Amino acid sequence: DVKVTQSSRYLVKRTGEKVFLECVQDMDHENMFWYRQDPGLGLRLIYFSYDVKMKEKGDIPEGYSVSREKKERFSLILESASTNQTSMYLCASSLKQLGGEKLFFGSGTQLSVL
Amino acid sequence: GIQVEQSPPDLILQEGANSTLRCNFSDSVNNLQWFHQNPWGQLINLFYIPSGTKQNGRLSATTVATERYSLLYISSSQTTDSGVYFCAVGSGGSNYKLTFGKGTLLTVNP
C-alpha cells in the first residue's frame, strides 16, 4: 500500500513564525501535492510538484512556498504565518502516467496560528 | 473552471440500508475519483473512475462521462461507512489538478 506520511498531526505556531510542513511518500510517485481543507470551502490546491525541483502554483499559492529536493519529500513553507492560514493541510501523491493519477493522501496536519 | 456538485449534502441511514451518492460536473473530464474522509480526517481513495463501472466489496461506482455525472453506491451500510464522501475531477492535460466537490456527509446509525 502507498504510504504518505506527514510529520505532524497537530501544530501550534505564532503569527509571523516561519513554518515547515513535511511530507514523505514511499511509492516512488512523481507527483506530489499540498492541499488545505477549510469548513465550507472544501479542499483547495496550494502547490503541486511533478518532479524533483519542479513546482507549479495551484489555486491558492499566496503566502506559501514549497521545496522538493528529493523525489520522496515535498515540503510546504509558510514564510510568515498568519491567522488566516489556520487550517488542515493535506499532502498527497500520485503517479505521473496517464491513467495512473489515483491520488493518495497523508493523514493531515491541523495547523493553528495564534 | 469545472464546477462539481454533490448530492445530497447530508444523508442519515440505519445500518444495513443502501444509498446512492451523486456527483455532477460541468465539463468533460478525464480524471474522476471518489474519496472517503473518516471522522479522524483521513482521506481514503475509493475509486479512480473517469468512465465505466467498478466494484470493490460493498461499494461500487459508475461514471457516465457523456452525461457528466458519477454515482457511488453503498450497499448494506455499516457504521464505519460514516464520514464525508468527496468526488474530485480533472480534465485535459492538467487533469492532475483535481477540483473537489463539497462532499456528502453520511451518518450510519446502529
Answer whether A42 sits within 8 Å of B42, measured CB to CB. no
| A108 touches B: beta carbon within 8 Å | yes
Model pLDDT, residue A69:
96
Please check whether residue B31 is in contact with residue B89, taking contact to mean a CB–CB distance below 8 angstroms.
yes
Look over chain A and give the mean of its residue pLDDT values, rounded to a whole number.
Answer: 93
Model pLDDT, residue A100:
65
Model pLDDT, residue B92:
79
Ramachandran area for residue A68 (φ above 0: left; ψ -120 to 50: alpha; else beta)? beta
How confident is the model over A1-29, as pLDDT tens digits? 669 999 899 999 999 999 999 999 998 99
Answer whether B48 sits within 8 Å of A48, measured CB to CB. no
Query: How many Å lie between the alpha carbon of B16 and the closest alpha carbon of chain A?
Result: 28
pLDDT average, residue stretch A94-99 = 76
- Residue B60: CB atoms within 10 A of its CB come to 17
Model pLDDT, residue B55:
97
Please check whether residue B12 is in contact with residue B67, taking contact to mean a CB–CB distance below 8 angstroms.
no
* Exposure on the CB side of residue B91, measured as CA atoms within 13 A: 13
Chain A residues 29-48 within an 8 A CB cutoff of chain B: 31, 33, 42-45, 48
Cβ burial, residue A11 (10 Å; 0-12/13-18/19+) = middle
Q: How far apart are CA B6 and CA B70, in angstroms?
A: 10
> Is residue A99 very low, low, confident or very high in pLDDT (cuts 50, 70, 90)?
low
pLDDT average, residue stretch A51-59 = 92
Answer whether B96 sits within 8 Å of A105, measured CB to CB. no
